[in-house]
Structure 1
Amino acid sequence: MKRIEAALFRLIDVALVALLAAMTMMVFFNVVLRYGFGSGIDISEEMSRFCFVWLIFLGAMSATRLNMHMGFDLVVTSVGPGMRRLLLTIANALVLGVCLLILAGTLMQWGVNATNAAPVTGMPMIWVFGIALPFSVVIGIFAALRMIGYATGRLTDLPRAVGELHQ
């Protein structure tokens, strides 16, 4: 299972690099064309925006796996271990709840987004907003596992610091 997870997130990391490179190139060439030649490629504006949306969602999934997402831990670090576990259980339960809301909203809007077309490319908008489906599932799984871990005592401390991840 760990190998499948590692392979999946390796694929996500490669996709992040490809999306960032594609977005950068599209914007750069469009700026050069607009200022240098007085014209541009209309499709590049829309596609770079779509790449940005996917970049954010995939990046959030990757960051959640590594516990590198932003957090405010002033209260959690100032309480004892038992209260810390309770607060982290509640926090992960809230994250799971939000993921369930995003999942439900994505499924409710699926038909609408599948039939709406992007103005320039004509792509179904589900290609843009559909990323919320795997996003909510992946982050929801991590939040559920962490919530159970804190509630049962298998996880007892704060998520590791960024510097500890690569040692």
Structure 2
Amino acid sequence: MLNALLDRSCRVLNLTIALALAIMVVLVFGNVVLRYVFNSGIAVSEEMSRWLFVWITFLGGIAAIHENAHLGTDMLVSRLSANGKKVCYVAGHLIMLYVTWLCLKGSWQQTLLNADMSAPVTGLSMAMFYASGVVFAVCAGVLLLLRLLRALAGKTEEQELVMSTESEESIASVGVKKA
């Protein structure tokens, strides 16, 4: 039931990313056309597309963690015993949780520091910009913690303990197989 909820949430997240990307493309393309054809532009489009890019990056990070889409090599870990793989898996998750904590702490501080600051063009609070890191850190932390607890409870298969993907093509083929 939890996996189904996480999968649905990730689908909504991917749709949000796609929508934000579409808006960003329209803003940037529209601004380019306005600049070249009419020698004018929309100032808001530059700021909003920059904000959308940051949010897309952090939301994409959440989706990548959920889909276990880490790029890397398994040259060492794949040769270890099941217990060795589990130790590496747990150690890797503890390190990722620590880095996620650092991201949360820094993003939260920046959000608070910039809550009273306004963006130059839109006038929106700069806290919304830095909140992307907070959202990422909270969501990523929950996903990583759930995986870590599952591994410690012994509910993780041996092939799941090797977390890396060797190429982007294998990520694409997994996405095709899931669909």
Amino acid at match of 2:36: Y
Aligned length: 167
Output the CA distance in 1 between the equivalents of 2:65 and 2:174: 15
Q: Is 1:138 matched with 2:139?
A: yes
Quote the offset at 1:35 in angstroms.
1.4
Structure-2 residue corresponding to 1:12: 13
Aligned counterparts, 1:1-167, within 5 A: 1-155=2-156, 156-157=158-159, 158-159=162-163, 162=171, 163-164=173-174, 166-167=177-178
Q: 1:73 to 1:113 in 2, by over 3 A?
A: farther
- Determine helix, strand or coil for the equivalent of 1:131: helix
| Identity level (%) | 32
Quote the offset at 1:14 in angstroms.
1.4
Output the CA distance in 2 between the equivalents of 1:148 and 1:6: 18
- Determine helix, strand or coil for the equivalent of 2:49: helix
> Is residue 86–residue 150 contact of structure 1 (8 Å, CA) maintained in 2?
no
Quote the offset at 1:122 in angstroms.
1.2
TM-score in terms of structure 2 length: 0.83
Amino acid at match of 1:51: L
Amino acid at match of 1:109: Q
- Determine helix, strand or coil for the equivalent of 2:70: coil
Output the CA distance in 2 between the equivalents of 1:72 and 1:139: 22
Q: 1:149 to 1:4 in 2, by over 3 A?
A: closer
Amino acid at match of 2:88: L
Amino acid at match of 2:99: V
Instruction: Output the aligned Cα RMSD.
Output: 2.0
- Determine helix, strand or coil for the equivalent of 1:153: coil
Gaps of at least 5 residues in structure 2 are: none
Output the CA distance in 2 between the equivalents of 1:74 and 1:115: 49
Q: Bigger CA drift: 51-60 or 66-75?
A: 66-75
> Is residue 111–residue 126 contact of structure 2 (8 Å, CA) maintained in 1?
no
- Determine helix, strand or coil for the equivalent of 2:121: coil
> Is residue 90–residue 147 contact of structure 1 (8 Å, CA) maintained in 2?
no
Output the CA distance in 2 between the equivalents of 1:94 and 1:32: 46
> Is residue 111–residue 128 contact of structure 2 (8 Å, CA) maintained in 1?
no
Output the CA distance in 2 between the equivalents of 1:87 and 1:40: 52
Amino acid at match of 1:119: P
Quote the offset at 1:82 in angstroms.
1.6
- Determine helix, strand or coil for the equivalent of 2:115: helix
Gaps of at least 5 residues in structure 1 are: none
Quote the offset at 1:100 in angstroms.
1.1
Quote the offset at 1:9 in angstroms.
1.9
Amino acid at match of 2:133: A
Quote the offset at 1:3 in angstroms.
4.2
TM-score in terms of structure 1 length: 0.89
Output the CA distance in 2 between the equivalents of 1:100 and 1:106: 10
